[in-house]
Chains A and B, each alone.
Chain A
Amino acid sequence: METVMAHPFAKYLREAMMPHIWCSGCGNGIILNCFVQAVDELQMDLNKLVVVSGIGCIGRAAGYVNTNSFHTTHGRPIAFATGIKLANPELEVVIISGDGDLFAIGGNHFIHAARRNIGIKVICANNFNYGMTGGQQGPTTPVEALTTTTPYGNIEHPFNLVHLAAASGATYVARWTTLHVRRLTQSIKKLLQKEGFGFIEVVSPCPEIFGRYNKMRTGLEMMEWFRKVSAIENFSDPAKAEITPERIVVGEFVDIAKISYEKLIHEKIAEINEKKMQW
């Protein structure tokens, strides 16, 4: 007799949205899987979870998870999520989006949300390029890398995202690659339990475009690169964690306690109303 068993995570995914749009060998599925695993291990109340994304390949993740989700305009998920979190601080608001979305067009929102310490959680799939639009250069493209808009090699300096996040005030900062599945999952669990603004960069293969242009045609080859050059150095100086072809420092960089913006504003509201009562 044949028994058809549902995947243990089936309840976390929207079946009607399948098949997903991602290429084979793409790292986005791994990131989604780690996220869902973390949500499952924490036994999170899905009714209180909101996943927000911008536009890009990874941006489709919001639609795939079976929780409250919103697919916003390109670059704006953080600003949108700020509104959600302030309006209802009981909601757990997670942003899953791309390097272009969060750090080029949306870069300003990222640094300001971190500065305010608004309690939203950002997971960035850094695939070193704009996958969705066919592989253009972006704010994390390595120097000399080839993309459709840097046919002679990239001459711009990439952001070191963990340094940027730490300098902007994030309470939790980590970087992993899609090779570090277990560590990434544990890190996401930690992120989801932190107060304030937290950030995880996930270095992720885009074999279909970035890999193809840069002599790593398959997901496996890209993962092989991650395996060769990544080094776990927890709580090392994020300023020295620039990603180069020779070295990808991964690990946790920041884990501090700081009262969140939403807590502060609700404290103020309570204070003001107490004063009013005393008049």
Chain B
Amino acid sequence: MNQKRVILEGSHFMNGDIACAEGAIAAGCRFFAGYPITPATEIAEHLAQRMLEVGGIYVQMEDEIASMAAVIGASYAGLKAMTATSGPGFSLMQENIGLAVMTEAPCVIVDVMRGGPSTGQPTLPGQQDVMQAKWGSHGDYEIIALAPSSVQEMFNLTIEAFNLSETYRVPAIVLADEVVGHMWEKVAIPPAQKIKIVNRKKANAPSEAYAPFMPDDDLVPPMACFGEGYSFHATGLTHDEHGYPQTSSSEVQQKLVKRLCDKIRKNADKIVRVEEVLLSDADIVVVAYGIVARAALSAVRKARAEGIKAGLLRPITLWPFPENHVAKIAQQTKAIVVPEMNCGQLVREVERAAKETPVTFLSKLGEEPHTPMEIFEAIRRNS
């Protein structure tokens, strides 16, 4: 039979948006709801074709609020679900991202960042939604956000986002940028059986005994989906283990909100991923993520060639923030440089973790990302 391979394999030349879409399919995502926006549109366009080929659903909703709502609905109906957007749409999604946090709906949100605020600069890259990814919805919560810096990572980290989201029943955000989304590079896709896929813990209690929000030891409750024989209620209101609203109990509120935070905080060591380059003897360390980390790596290599002991720490998970990694290098290094395509967002976290070690911030707005020379100059000035 000449059936077209449902999941790609081997080497392919593609752009970051398409790699992200293919990563979603490889991760087992079978539901996409979205609304077109530059520079994330190609994800939707690609999935409009590919989702149906793999028996999944693509639906273009009336806006991003609806897209996020539909994704949560599909997740509760048992599918791995995703949406993709950029800043303006990400803003519209925030209330329902909070609903996904509160009802512990596994789902993935891709934000291909452009210049903001507001409509800003649709075709230029930005890293201006970093804080919004963490704090965008109201109330206290923890979330997971990953920052790819290559087309290959658009593929890999989209899979990782699904795996983490399924593991912790939390929305996971792929926080990409316009350059990573639009640039073309080679992507190596291993055979499907070599790709690690994690699925949510299924409910296994008898239906009468099932409490939909009763956590296991890892603080994550097993999940029943609609139609699986469990009749349960889920609500965005503060609720007890049975899913019943408890709108005036301080005890229930504390227990629930703390657990929602703790299931990420207490598992942070397992979630956090960084790339460390030439750190062991570094006198000066660049902390950079996304596309900026590529230039930072060149800058670090150039500095080394000139005898400056530079290193790179690249947070792959922006949230939870790898504060232990930053705190550790801050103790052994003399200075830290943080280049970002914004007015200073992740640098605040770096400063907090670095304590006494001086941190220099390198801003970039409204143009291509930092060049290696610009970062190299900053390394030289501060070393």
B-contacting residues of A (Cβ < 8 Å)? Answer: 14, 16-17, 46-48, 50, 52, 62-63, 66-73, 76, 79-88, 90-91, 108-109, 112, 265, 268-269, 272-273, 276-277, 279
| Tally of A-B Cβ pairs under 8 angstroms | 151
Are B52 and A82 interface neighbours, CB within 8 A?
no
Q: Which residues of A contact B71 (CB under 8 A)?
A: 83
Are B52 and A62 interface neighbours, CB within 8 A?
no
Specify the main secondary structure of chain B where it touches its partner: mixed
Given B53, B63, B77, B95, which contacts A83 in the complex, CB threshold below 8 Å? B77
Are A82 and B70 interface neighbours, CB within 8 A?
yes
| Bound complex: CA A272 to CA B49 (Å) | 10
Are A279 and B227 interface neighbours, CB within 8 A?
no
Q: When A84-B76, A269-B52, A277-B3 are in contact, do A79 and B237 touch as well, CB less than 8 Å?
A: no
Are B59 and A82 interface neighbours, CB within 8 A?
yes
Given A80-B73, A87-B81; 12 other pairs, CB 8 A cutoff: A14-B244, A52-B73, A63-B244, A68-B226, A73-B98, A76-B69, A86-B59, A86-B70, A87-B79, A88-B227, A108-B63, A276-B2
Residues 294-320 of B, flagged 1 when their CB comes within 8 A of A and 0 if not, give: 000000000000000000000000000
Are A112 and B76 interface neighbours, CB within 8 A?
no
Which residues of B206-261 are within 8 A (CB) of A? Answer: 226-237, 242, 244-245
Q: Within the complex, what minimum Cβ distance (angstroms) separates B212 from chain A?
A: 10
Residues 20-34 of B, flagged 1 when their CB comes within 8 A of A and 0 if not, give: 000000000011010
| Bound complex: CA A66 to CA B103 (Å) | 18
Q: Which residues of B contact A72 (CB under 8 A)?
A: 69, 72, 99, 236
Given B30, B33, B236, which contacts A73 in the complex, CB threshold below 8 Å? B236
Are A82 and B233 interface neighbours, CB within 8 A?
no
In the A-B complex, the 4 residue pairs with the smallest Cβ-Cβ separation, listed nearest first, are A83-B73, A83-B70, A87-B77, A79-B66
A-contacting residues of B (Cβ < 8 Å)? Answer: 1-4, 30-31, 33, 52-53, 55, 57, 59, 61-63, 65-67, 69-79, 81, 95-96, 98-99, 103, 226-237, 242, 244-245
| Bound complex: CA A277 to CA B245 (Å) | 50
| Bound complex: CA A71 to CA B63 (Å) | 20
Q: When A47-B231, A87-B81, A276-B53 are in contact, do A82 and B72 touch as well, CB less than 8 Å?
A: no
Q: Within the complex, what minimum Cβ distance (angstroms) separates B134 from chain A?
A: 20
Q: Which residues of A contact B67 (CB under 8 A)?
A: 79
| Bound complex: CA A279 to CA B53 (Å) | 14
| Bound complex: CA A277 to CA B6 (Å) | 12
Q: When A87-B77, A87-B78 are in contact, do A71 and B236 touch as well, CB less than 8 Å?
A: yes
Are A79 and B52 interface neighbours, CB within 8 A?
no
Given B70, B75, B232, B236, which contacts A79 in the complex, CB threshold below 8 Å? B70
| Bound complex: CA A50 to CA B227 (Å) | 8
Are B77 and A71 interface neighbours, CB within 8 A?
no
Are A82 and B227 interface neighbours, CB within 8 A?
no
Are B78 and A86 interface neighbours, CB within 8 A?
no
Q: When A69-B234, A79-B61, A82-B73 are in contact, do A90 and B227 touch as well, CB less than 8 Å?
A: yes
Q: Which residues of B contact A69 (CB under 8 A)?
A: 232-234
Are A46 and B52 interface neighbours, CB within 8 A?
no
In the complex, the chain B residue whose C-beta lies closest to that of A64 is B233
In the complex, the chain A residue whose C-beta lies closest to that of B1 is A277
| Bound complex: CA A157 to CA B72 (Å) | 34
Q: When A16-B242, A16-B244, A87-B73 are in contact, do A272 and B231 touch as well, CB less than 8 Å?
A: no
**Can you list 12 contacts pairing A with B, beta carbon distance less than 8 Å?**
A46-B231, A73-B96, A79-B65, A79-B66, A79-B69, A87-B79, A88-B78, A90-B227, A108-B66, A272-B53, A277-B1, A279-B4
Given B95, B226, B234, which contacts A88 in the complex, CB threshold below 8 Å? B226
Are B244 and A84 interface neighbours, CB within 8 A?
no
| Bound complex: CA A80 to CA B73 (Å) | 5
Q: When A69-B233, A87-B81, A90-B227 are in contact, do A272 and B52 touch as well, CB less than 8 Å?
A: yes
Q: Within the complex, what minimum Cβ distance (angstroms) separates B18 from chain A?
A: 19
In the complex, the chain B residue whose C-beta lies closest to that of A63 is B233
| Bound complex: CA A76 to CA B67 (Å) | 10
Q: Which residues of B contact A272 (CB under 8 A)?
A: 52-53
In the complex, the chain B residue whose C-beta lies closest to that of A45 is B227
Are A83 and B81 interface neighbours, CB within 8 A?
yes
Q: Which residues of B contact A62 (CB under 8 A)?
A: 233, 235
Q: Within the complex, what minimum Cβ distance (angstroms) separates B234 from chain A?
A: 5
Q: When A70-B76, A76-B66, A279-B4 are in contact, do A83 and B231 touch as well, CB less than 8 Å?
A: no
